[in-house]
Amino acid sequence: MLRIGKIKIKYPYFPSPLAGLTDFPFRKLLDSIGYVGALFTEMVSTEGLIRKNLQTLKMLESFSSPTPKFVQLFGNNPHSFAESVKYINDNTSFDGIDLNAGCPVKKVVNKGAGSFLLKDTENLKKIVKSIRKNTEKAFTVKIRLGFKKVNISETIKIIESEGADGIIVHFRTKKDGYSVPARWEFAEKIKELTNLPVIGNGDIFNIETAKERLKKVDGIMLGRGIVINPSFFKELKTGKREKDYIILERFIRLMEDFYPEEKWLPRLKAFLRYFSKGKGISKKIKRELFLSKDYEFVRNESLQIFSELD
């Protein structure tokens, strides 16, 4: 059993925080399927949180279940992190905090956040220290191998010395983006560098790869792969998977319950762009779905397609 801080993790399998995808309905979907070690929110802005932005606060909505739940925070101001953590402590039931120090998206990096912290290591140190000082919750940091060059030894030393409980490593640099294969050859070196649990992320799309990666790290994290196949962890653990039609039907119900009607169409399309991959659906049919402005058509047509595939 994996332990992160005070939390005992039953399964070493984690879905990656993904903006616009790992929202409340999707997290609840994964929880209903099971075999998830912990759930992570989308990236939550510390500035939005301390200003009580309504959209940001909605991202912190959660639900009751035994699965540990983490808030992933991003920003560049240690004081804002301190205030955000205090708010989470006092107003939510989340079990842990995850610091995003790996996002390569330009608008995040330009604000000195995400993977920018991998080269601004003085500020990374201040932020990790600020978070640890203000919460006893489990605390992880998600990083990449470096910004332009690999400096994982330096960042891990900072993260561990300032009191984090675990490290999540995407095995690419910021410069790599997603254009080169994840460099899992660094896993062994990273395990030698730290006593903290190491969760590995990057290019895990099938069960065989997942099993191999688990030999190198303490846990694995899936991004796009878990949206393509939300029952991936169940399949990894039991050899069985949920029917895609049942998953889609459940996701739609959860999404409609959570969002106002005007959000349904873009959110369903965002889900389907990944969920439809590798399922044998023709480009023509996908084009019809993604160009449609009629929610009922997209909803009913996609359910019909997946009922026939199952």
Round to the nearest angstrom and report the end-to-end CA distance of the chain. 34
CA dist 302 and 100 (Å) reads: 34
Rounded to whole angstroms, how far apart are CA atoms 236 and 209? 10
Contact indicator for 126, 76 with CB cutoff of 8 Å: no
- Angle between the N-to-C axes of helices 295-309 and 244-258, in degrees from 0 to 180, rounded to the nearest 10: 160
Selecting among 49, 97, 103, 268, the annotated active-site residue is: 103
Identify the residue whose tokens are 């009913």.
Answer: 300
Answer yes or no: are the C-beta atoms of 145 and 104 closer than 8 Å.
no
| DSSP assignment letter at 194 | -
Backbone angles phi, psi at 106, to 5 degrees: -55, -45
Which has the closest alpha carbon to 115: 166, 170, 194? Answer: 170
Burial of 38 (0-12, 13-18, 19+ CB in 10 A): buried
The question of whether 103 is a catalytic residue gets the answer yes
Contacts of residue 91, Cβ cutoff 8 Å, sequence gap at least 6: 60
Q: What pairs with residue 140 in β-bridges?
A: 98, 166
Catalytic residues: 103
